[in-house]
Chains A and B, each alone.
Chain A
Amino acid sequence: MMRVTRRYRFAASHRLHADRLSERENRELYGKCNHPYGHGHNYEVEITVRGPLDARSGRAVDLAALDRLVKREVLDAFDHRNLNAEIPEFEGVVPTSENLAIELHRRLERRWAEMFPGEWPRLDKIRIAETPRNIFEVGEP
């Protein structure tokens, strides 16, 4: 079994604000991440795929297919966007990187079988670095 990891980047803005908390509670909880007009990050996303090697290609995943899937489902939707205003799933959901990682995982899984119809490869995990110091990872439950 091989694990192959590919790194992608996108830049997006967000604001952390929970509707169920008061203005004051939001400021206390999220600090500068709660500033009203939002702010941005250069997100780095590592997508790990696992599977056995294909005998014909000596590879565990068709990288061109993975790139197409990630571009279509993630990069085109998120790059140079405001997550709160332009991603419908973040209506009423705080676009923390935890929630972002879950949403990326959901989007890739939703279309995975169309791009990779066989048993392998499978999505192994997603790791998001919001900044080089804040890193979030989701895998299979």
Chain B
Amino acid sequence: MLITRQVEFSSSHVCRNPALSEEENREIFGAAANPHGHGHNYVLEVTLSGDPDPVTGMVLDLKELKRILNRAVVEPYDHRFLNYEVPPFERVIPTAENIAIDIWNRLAPHFTDTRGKLHSVRLYETADLYVDYFGETA
């Protein structure tokens, strides 16, 4: 069984690789390289897999999942400039792909086999662009 909870956060970022020239950054990242940054309303869908508990009928109480998502992701990310305020983005380019990996890494310790396993992280940067990450092994 898969269960999914959605949360939103709004953050700013800039996509630049400091090892590259201004011109190369422009070429790779386009407007996303604008030095003062820009923002998105990110939508995050986190999916767990597991069997429903025989007593409660739930894989994991979605209220509990919501609490974990808020504490591990929304609180540190929401209304922040990722490059300046949220590690590891002082050294990792905050592309949607890298943000999804960081969210996975923040969430993974909260989920053990007994209460629902972290299955996937889907991060919408805009309504027309999203990434799916299933962890390193997938």
Which residues from chain B contact A3 at a C-beta distance below 8 Å? 131-133
Please report which residues of chain B, range 80-138, place their CB below 8 angstroms from some CB of chain A when the two chains form the complex.
92-98, 100-101, 127-134, 138
Interchain CB contact (< 8 A) of B131 among A4, A7, A57, A62: A4
Q: Which residues of A contact B15 (CB under 8 A)?
A: 58
B17 interfacial contact with A, CB 8 Å: yes
Q: Could you say which residues of chain A place their CB within 8 Å of the CB of B93?
A: 57-58
Cβ–Cβ contact A58 & B98, under 8 A:
yes
- Would A4 and B97 count as touching, CB distance under 8 A? yes
Q: A55: nearest residue on chain B (CB-CB)?
A: B17
Cβ of B17 and Cβ of A2 under 8 Å apart? no
CB–CB A58/B97 < 8 A: yes
- A6-B129, A7-B128, A64-B30 known; A59-B95 Cβ under 8 A: yes
Interface residue tally on B, bucketed by range: 20 to 34
Contact with A along B16-27 (1 / 0, CB 8 A): 010110000000
Chain A contact patch, size range: 10 to 19
Distance between Cα atoms of A63 and B31 in the complex (Å): 12
What is the bound-complex CA distance between A35 and B19, given in angstroms?
60
Please give, as numbers and ranges, the residues of chain A lying within 8 Å of B97 by CB-CB distance.
2, 4, 53, 58-60
Cross-chain pair count, CB within 8 angstroms: 55
Q: Which residues of B contact A63 (CB under 8 A)?
A: 129
| Cβ-neighbour of A2 out of B28, B29, B94, B131 (below 8 A) | B131
A21 close to B (CB within 8 Å): no
Q: Are B17 and A57 in contact, CB atoms less than 8 angstroms apart?
A: yes
Task: Give Cα A1 to B19, complex, Å.
Answer: 24
> Does A56 interact with chain B (Cβ within 8 Å)?
yes
Residue of B nearest to A63 (CB): B129
Output the least CB separation between B109 and chain A (Å): 21
Check A62–B28 contact: CB distance below 8 A.
yes
Nearest residue (CB) in A for B126 is: A7
User: Can you name the residue of chain A whose Cβ is closest to the Cβ of B28?
Assistant: A57
Chain A residues lying within 8 Å of B138, measured Cβ to Cβ, are 1
**A58 engages B20 (CB within 8 Å):** no
> What are 5 A-B contacts defined by CB distance under 8 Å?
A4-B131, A48-B132, A56-B17, A56-B28, A57-B28
Which residues of A are in contact with B by a Cβ distance under 8 Å?
A: 1-8, 48, 53, 56-60, 62-64
- What 20 additional pairs, Cβ within 8 angstroms, besides A2-B131, A7-B129? A1-B134, A2-B132, A2-B133, A3-B132, A4-B97, A4-B130, A7-B128, A48-B132, A53-B97, A53-B98, A53-B101, A56-B19, A56-B20, A56-B28, A57-B29, A58-B92, A58-B97, A58-B98, A59-B95, A59-B97
Q: Which 4 A-B pairs have the closest CB atoms?
A: A58-B93, A7-B128, A3-B132, A58-B95
